[in-house]
Structure 1
Amino acid sequence: MDINLPEVVAEVCRVFVEYERALVANDIETMNALFWDALETVRYGIAEIQHGGEAIRQWRETCEPVPASRTLHRTVVTTFGRDFATVSTEFTSDATPLIGRQMQSWARLGPADRWKIVAAHVSLIPEP
């Protein structure tokens, strides 16, 4: 299996940046479009859990927007072959003294071969 093919890393970086832009702008339509709409999709948030695309969409309609002061640190993109990737990042914001951690599993899916988040986890910890 090929790890970190440059063209695949570039594709995943582009969709991750698209997701991050949507997250900070509270662009719910784009965030929903970038998550796999399937029962198998899981999102573990800071204080909540969603199983399935419908649960994620419902949660997004009522959740607090991400602070605009959000800054990413130490983002790592790793691709496995041409159709699977992970993205891990740390983040900070003016809204909390805690350090955020975010991990996403991305897969190329569907007839259009679009990259989708198939699993995500967000957490906060005190600064080490």
Structure 2
Amino acid sequence: MIAINSPTPLAEVTAAFHAYERALMEDDMDAMDALFHASPHTNRFGVGEVLYGIEAIRAFRKGRGGSPRRRLGHVAITVYGDSFATADAEFFRENSDLRGRQTQSWVRFADGWKVVSAHVSLEGTSH
């Protein structure tokens, strides 16, 4: 049986998630990079981009000039066992009524917890 949300790994992933959010809002590319797994298998799908591999993610970050300002809404972090976690968050951009959503998959490596897959989207007005 896999333990869900054991206190120590949950605290570690929660801290890593908030460290990433701080780095994102400060446009600290080194800190963001350190929290993503440096691999061609790490992917990030954003509001307007599809990025396969850490090099594409790095190039996108360098070219965008910082993330739009936002505040977090509900955040749900779940750790499965001691080496895999998901983080699902709602966010709200400044000067917008649209709700954004962010999902991250985290894996514990020898050098700490790293994002291996991320998806960011904004609510649409269709459907």
Q: Which amino acid is 1:117 matched to? A: V
Contact 1:105 1:120 in 2 (8 A): yes
Match of 1:54?
A: 55
> 1:69-108 to 2 correspondence within 5 Å?
70-108=70-108
Secondary structure of the structure 2 residue equivalent to 1:97 = coil
- The amino acid of 2:21's aligned partner reads E
Q: CA deviation at 1:95?
A: 3.9
Q: How many residues align?
A: 125
Question: What is residue 5 of structure 1 aligned with on the other side?
Answer: 6
Unaligned runs of 5+ in 2: none
For 1:115, the equivalent position in structure 2 comes to 113
Q: Runs of 4 or more off by more than 2 Å in structure 1?
A: none
Q: Deviations over 1:39-96 (max 9, x none)?
A: 111100000010001110111101142233x111110000000000000000002243
Identity %, equivalent residues: 43
1:72–1:108 distance in 2 versus 1, CA, 3 Å: same
Whether the 8 Å CA contact 1:97–1:126 is kept in 2: the answer is no
Are the counterparts in 2 of residues 100 and 125 from structure 1 also a CA contact under 8 Å? yes
1:126, CA displacement in angstroms? 4.3
Q: Which residue of 1 aligns with 2:22?
A: 21
- TM-score, scaled to structure 1: 0.92
CA distance in 1, matches of 2:60, 2:71: 23
